[in-house]
């Protein structure tokens, strides 16, 4: 049951309870939009706003009048929205064992080295594109797919010596162009 409405412009605001019913009528929709920015869900925002008005009714007699009643109401809503988000986000993240990130950390994750590696990779790719398609395919099969020369020869239907020669030709060109950097 709602308390009897009392205007907020009373001579002594600390003595007059807040008119929660009027606050509900004037600010409910705005509060829902405000809370929805925190909860990211209309249904959750509606729940939080409902709890805001319940809390406002429960504490209306303690409103000190140090701010506008709407500011007080939005403060309650903000606190409840934050609590709601904290409570509901606690189970969103998977816990991992101690040391997990140390196990997956890339020891070579130096940004400068990664950038240099990407640049070198682009240059090597450009060099590879300059070779005839059969040589590129042979190099790809042996180096990128890590297939032994004998299996590559069967796959490509060429002699093993041809596979060795093609791969050697590419490696020599890379060494000639880039030296030890590649």
How far, in Å, CA of 134 to CA of 117, rounded? Answer: 26
135, 114 Cβ separation under 8 angstroms: no
Ordered by where they begin, the domains of the chain are: 20-89 (1.10.1740.10), 112-181 (1.10.10.10)
pLDDT in tens, the chain (182 residues): 433 333 333 334 444 567 888 888 888 999 999 999 888 889 999 999 999 999 988 988 888 888 888 888 889 999 999 999 888 876 666 666 666 666 556 655 666 776 777 788 788 888 888 999 999 889 888 888 888 999 889 888 999 999 999 999 988 988 888 876 55
Closest CA to 18 of 51, 60, 46: 60
CA 143 to chain centroid: 36
71, 34 Cβ separation under 8 angstroms: no
How far, in Å, CA of 145 to CA of 147, rounded? Answer: 6
């Amino acid at each position: 049951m709602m308390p009897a409405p009392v205007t907020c412009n009373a001579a002594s605001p600390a003595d007059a309870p807040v008119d929660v019913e009027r606050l509900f009528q004037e600010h409910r929709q705005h509060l829902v939009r405000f809370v929805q920015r925190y909860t990211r869900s209309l249904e959750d925002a509606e729940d939080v706003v409902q709890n805001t008005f319940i809390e406002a009714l429960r504490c209306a007699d303690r409103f000190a009048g140090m701010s506008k009643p709407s500011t007080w109401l939005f403060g309650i809503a903000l606190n409840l929205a934050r609590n709601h988000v904290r409570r509901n986000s606690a189970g969103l993240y998977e816990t991992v064992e101690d040391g997990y990130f140390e196990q997956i950390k890339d020891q070579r994750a130096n940004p400068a080295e990664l950038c240099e590696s990407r640049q070198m990779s682009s240059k090597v790719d450009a060099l590879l594109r300059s070779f005839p398609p059969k040589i590129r395919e042979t190099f790809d099969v042996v180096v990128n797919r890590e297939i032994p020369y004998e299996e590559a020869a069967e796959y490509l239907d060429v002699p093993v010596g041809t596979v060795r020669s093609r791969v050697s030709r590419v490696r020599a060109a890379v060494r000639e162009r880039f030296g030890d950097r590649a």
